[in-house]
Amino acid sequence: MNKNTSDDYKKWVKAKYEEAKTGEFSGFLLKPSPAELKNLCLVLVDKGINKLDREILDRFFDLNDKSSIQKQIEHFEVDKLKPISNFLKGKTETTRPINLDLIAVLVDFNPRPYAKFMAGNKEELTVDVAINEMTKKEERVEMEEVKKEIIFKELNKKSVSKKIAFAVIPLFVFGAAGFGVKNIFFRDKNCMVWVNNHYEAAEYDAVKDTAEVSPFNQGLLDNFKKITVCDTTTFFKNEDIDNPLVWYGKSPNKKEYEYFNQPGLHPETGKTLKPITKYIIGKYILKK
């Protein structure tokens, strides 16, 4: 039985990063600056983490019980994430196990942490990866079936002639072969642009010369919004100031504050958004 090694852990975590940087959190991982990595940690904590990942964050950020996880990560010295950034960018070839554990959380690599990985063996890892790939393949097939069903419903809803319907059916065959109905009917929306108070998916070539383009991120596309706040807005979860529900940052002209429903970067200035405080509420919101 071939035991896993530290080099194996480094190799597999880095490989998972290469896959994850084009996934749900591509907006944070495509250009993994220390600030982006810190913001992704905040997003994952906000979504909810399990006990094992909490222990990994505890070790890396040296967390305590004096304040919330979010608040401690927000005040964490961002330069301490630079070794991770350099490793992911390929500027360094190795990094400490504690750093690899944090990367494993960010890209959802399993088995993690380092100690659990080292207790396994290469054969088990290979089987786990194979199962993971099979699961992804099955999910892709299921998605294709859903797309077929949706389009057929639309065809029926609009009373499309049988002739057109039969012309559409063969396209699904090509889709199964790797072309995809989406790519035949629609342009590939592979990036995002900020429009008023939300992100919209766009085709890069169509907008690259007219708008500020961001890497495609389904999470931001679905959930990240600029919001209007007032005296009736709920700013904190359960009125706990360590659990903000609103984040803020200066507008592009720096004349006023703008407010958002999630942590991250201001979509127009690129500055890290700050969690709302009672001081900001009192001075800039209630006195309007």
Q: Which of 281, 257, 282, 285 is nearest to 271 (CA)?
A: 257
Taking only the tens of pLDDT, the chain with its 288 residues reads 567 788 888 989 998 898 888 888 888 898 899 999 999 999 999 889 999 999 999 999 999 888 889 999 999 999 999 999 999 988 998 899 999 999 999 999 998 999 888 887 654 544 444 444 444 444 555 555 555 555 455 545 544 444 444 444 454 445 544 444 444 444 567 788 999 999 999 888 888 788 788 878 888 888 999 999 999 999 998 888 888 999 999 999 888 999 999 888 898 888 888 999 999 999 999 876
Chain centroid to CA 167: how far? 38
pTM: 0.49
Joined together, the tokens standing for residue 243 give 């659990």
Distance in angstroms between the alpha carbons of the first and the last residue of the chain:
69
Q: Is 233 exposed, middle or buried (0-12, 13-18, 19+ CB in 10 A)?
A: middle
Joined together, the tokens standing for residue 113 give 């942490």
